[in-house]
A and B are shown apart, each in its own frame.
Chain A
Amino acid sequence: MKKAEEIFELIKSSFPGVTVELSADMPTEPIISVDPLKVHEICKFLRDNEDCKFDSLMNLSGVDDANGEKIKDEDDSEIIKGGTLSVYYHLHSMSLNHKITLRASAPRENPEVESVDNVWKAADWHEREAYDMCGIKFLNHYDLRRILMPYDWEDGSYPLRKDYKNPEFYNGMKVPY
């Protein structure tokens, strides 16, 4: 059983040159921030390393950090420019019984994060959901389609973005009720 700090040191020494950060001031769980384009490599390492053995992905969530600049557009609704979208990974090792939380933040304008669905199959649907809800693009995902929203939902319209606006019409039907 290892603490998040030890795992952080292990990642840092195994991946020189890759940005990893630890925020330990959280009240319940420390978070390790990793480079969104190195996630796959790091996750594979965490799964296969003898001291980590993170064999299960408990949860994967897409989050709109809403930390960009908030500006008003022409019809006076707020939109967000800049800032980041994040993916949180909650990993757990069944054999060693330890947990960590990873975070990969990608720029809002081009939110590309590497897919981990061939590390844990559990990530497949979670990633599709994060794509569907927050518009995070998972590179190398074999089947990145919408999952909960209709397949013909407007491109670029992601409900869990903080600046999401309901469309007026969907397939000719009025949406607000």
Chain B
Amino acid sequence: MALRTEELILNVGPQHPSTHGVLRLEVELEGELVVKVKPHIGYLHRCFEKHAEAMTYPQVIPYTDRMDYLASMYNNFGYVIAVEKLMGIEVPERVEYIRVIMGELQRIASHMVALGTYGLDLGAFTPFLYLFRDREKILTMFEMTCGARLLYNYMWVGGLSHDLHPDFVRLAREFIQYFRPNIVELNNLLTYNKIFIERTAHIGILPADTAINYGITGPMLRASGVNWDLRKNDTYSIYNRFDFDIPVGQGHVGTVGDCWDRYYVRVLEMEQSMRILEQALDQLPEGDINSDLPKRIKPPVGTVYQRVENPKGELGYFIISDGSLNPFRVKVRGPSFVNLSVINELSRGHLIADLIAILGSIDIVLGEIDR
């Protein structure tokens, strides 16, 4: 007679280091195999969208910082260009360049956290420390510019809060020189580490059509082999002036769209961001950053949906204006929110230990999922 078996329900989180925040996964297990994952979110819900309705347009900017707190610059970026599009404002050249420089530095910093903590999830402690050491340099540059290390409130509608520090350009160049060899070091330490590959190759494979249907964007979509980057495909700001490549997953050590590909696409993206940075620093024009700052921000009646390529994927702002000083409705389409929704599809049939690897490879920030 066969032994009677039954499924086991296991709660991962809400307080667990590998959930990258306060996330609860209700996992249905058959032995060690995952049958179903049901994410429960909302533990950090602050109803940003309701707050935004009570604020004037510029007052919303600090709230956007607090969504994806590892990529605050880019959250500002998306919001301000959405409002500018609604109002039909053109910003000075120098502002555009500084925004791109900040955005790309932020992308590198965000990927550093993603890669470092991913190593940590899988038991590699050292790369995390190295990456955080290097990230510190970026945060120092941000701090020099606007006084804050994490939540910047740096980009304003029509301008910026501060011009660059006189040392900024030199430091940024030094950083690029310093960080390039460190990527090689990271590859030697972690990327091509045998144990790391064993843990990530062929795990959590996401086929391209599933990814598109789920609305997956950013490095995760590119890892599935889709050549799609909003900076190129639906360009905004001045990204069309720069020469850079879009890395896509190729399945070097496993299958296209597995955890290793998602990891490696981010490594390659850091290099591409540095290419953009170099060009932007070379072309950076002089000028007054706040010459066109509008006195009063009061967009006309209408709606706008503006999306930007946040480090984690497509960050969209849908703003409805009723012609007053406060937005009528702000809806944020966060990349982490949408990317997390595919986790059940990814982890079905894998071991419970691989669930942690899969979750880490999505690179979520709960502050943005719950908003």
Contacts and interface: CB of A to CB of B under 8 A. Distances in A.
A160 B86 contact: no
B307 A58 contact: yes
Given A27-B86, A59-B316, A59-B318, A94 B228 contact: yes
B134 interface: no
B235 to A, nearest CB: 12
B370 A148 contact: yes
Nearest to A28: B304
Interface stretch (B99-107, B116-124, B208-216): B208-216
A133 B341 contact: no
Contact of B318 (A90, A147, A148): A90
Given A31-B303, A58-B307, A160-B50, A63 B214 contact: no
Interface size class of B (residues with CB under 8 A): 35 or more
Contact of B41 (A61, A64, A147): A147
Chain A interface bracket (under 10, 10 to 19, 20 to 34, 35 or more): 20 to 34
A125 B50 contact: no
B316 A58 contact: yes
B149 interface: no
B5 interface: no
A125 B50 CA distance: 19
Interface in A5-64: 26-29, 31, 55-59, 61, 63-64
Interface stretch (A76-84, A106-114, A116-124): A116-124
Interface in A85-128: 88, 90, 94, 97, 101, 120-122, 124-126
B331 A59 contact: yes
A94 B320 CA distance: 25
A149 B45 CA distance: 7
Interface string B338-351: 10011000000000
A120 B49 contact: no
Contacts of A28: 85-86, 302-304
A176 interface: no
Interface string B272-310: 000000000000000000000000000011111101000
A29 B45 contact: no
A156 interface: no
10 closest A-B pairs by CB: A122-B215, A61-B331, A148-B42, A59-B333, A27-B302, A148-B45, A28-B304, A121-B214, A125-B341, A26-B302
Given A121-B215, A122-B338, A126-B333, 13 more contacts: A27-B88, A31-B303, A55-B213, A56-B213, A58-B316, A59-B318, A90-B305, A101-B303, A120-B214, A124-B341, A125-B341, A149-B42, A149-B45
Interface of B: 41-42, 45, 47, 49-50, 85-86, 88, 210, 212-215, 226, 228, 233-234, 300-305, 307, 314, 316, 318, 320, 329, 331, 333, 337-338, 341-342, 370-371
